[in-house]
């Protein structure tokens, strides 16, 4: 466990889940597919992937690509049985989009997320302090995902002629994360 986590009092973090939407050309031959491609996250057609990274930036699990309309929570629910490798008593450091997904993990893994305002006008000072630690420590998964997108076919908008190879590019991008120098 990196020293930054120990200093923040967050020592048993098994994973940092994060989602990424890869913009892609729109398939206009079928309106159902066209609608399923639309992602609210990037406001255009996209393919969505969720990755689980370790605290030091290694990828140990990632999903296949789903069309952009499928929510991150639904993807975690589908992928849940594969997450039995996360040990009991450990937690995930996640963003707000993953709040409430603990039930989809075989061992009901707690998701540490930034707080919600829940109708209040502002956060308390203690909530801001905890949230700052969580947000700072999540940088490793953001950097690791940036390494996935170094694959030329996953940059910018994915053209339709790459559609057959998108999952392979996604898998190779995640393998490449582990082949590069460790972040920490």
Please, what are the averages of pLDDT over each run of 10 residues along the chain (184 residues)?
Answer: 85 92 92 94 95 92 96 96 94 90 94 78 78 84 88 87 92 92 74
The pLDDT assigned to 123 comes to 77
Nearest to 24 by CA among 40, 41, 37: 37
User: For residue 62, what are the β-bridge partners?
Assistant: 51
The pLDDT assigned to 124 comes to 79
Domain count, the chain: 1
The pLDDT assigned to 118 comes to 74
Q: Whole domain around residue 20: which residue ranges?
A: 3-165
175 in a structural domain = no
The pLDDT assigned to 1 comes to 84
104 in a structural domain = yes
- Rounded distance, CA 136 to CA 140, Å? 9
178 in a structural domain = no
Q: What is the pTM of this model?
A: 0.88
The pLDDT assigned to 76 comes to 96
177 in a structural domain = no
Residue 180: CB atoms within 10 A of its CB come to 12
121 in a structural domain = yes
The pLDDT assigned to 77 comes to 96
Q: Which two tokens stand for residue 174?
A: 């995640």
182 in a structural domain = no
User: Which helix (H) or strand (E) is 26 found in, with range?
Assistant: none
């Amino acid at each position: 466990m990196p020293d930054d986590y120990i200093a923040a009092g967050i020592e048993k973090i098994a994973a940092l889940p994060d989602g990424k939407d890869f913009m892609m050309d729109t398939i206009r031959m079928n309106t159902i597919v066209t609608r399923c491609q639309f992602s609210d996250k990037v406001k255009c057609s996209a393919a969505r992937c969720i990755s689980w990274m370790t605290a030091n930036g290694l990828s140990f699990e990632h999903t296949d690509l789903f069309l952009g309309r499928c929510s991150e929570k639904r993807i975690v629910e589908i992928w849940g049985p594969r997450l039995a490798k996360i040990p009991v008593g450990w937690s995930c450091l996640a963003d707000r989009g993953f709040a409430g997904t603990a039930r989809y993990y075989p061992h009901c893994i707690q998701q540490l997320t930034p707080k919600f305002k829940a109708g209040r006008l502002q956060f308390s000072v203690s909530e801001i302090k905890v949230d700052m630690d969580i947000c700072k420590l999540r940088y490793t998964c953001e950097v690791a995902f940036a390494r996935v997108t170094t694959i030329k076919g996953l940059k910018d908008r994915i053209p339709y002629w790459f559609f057959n190879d998108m999952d392979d590019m996604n898998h190779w991008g995640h393998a490449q994360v582990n082949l590069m120098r460790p972040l920490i």
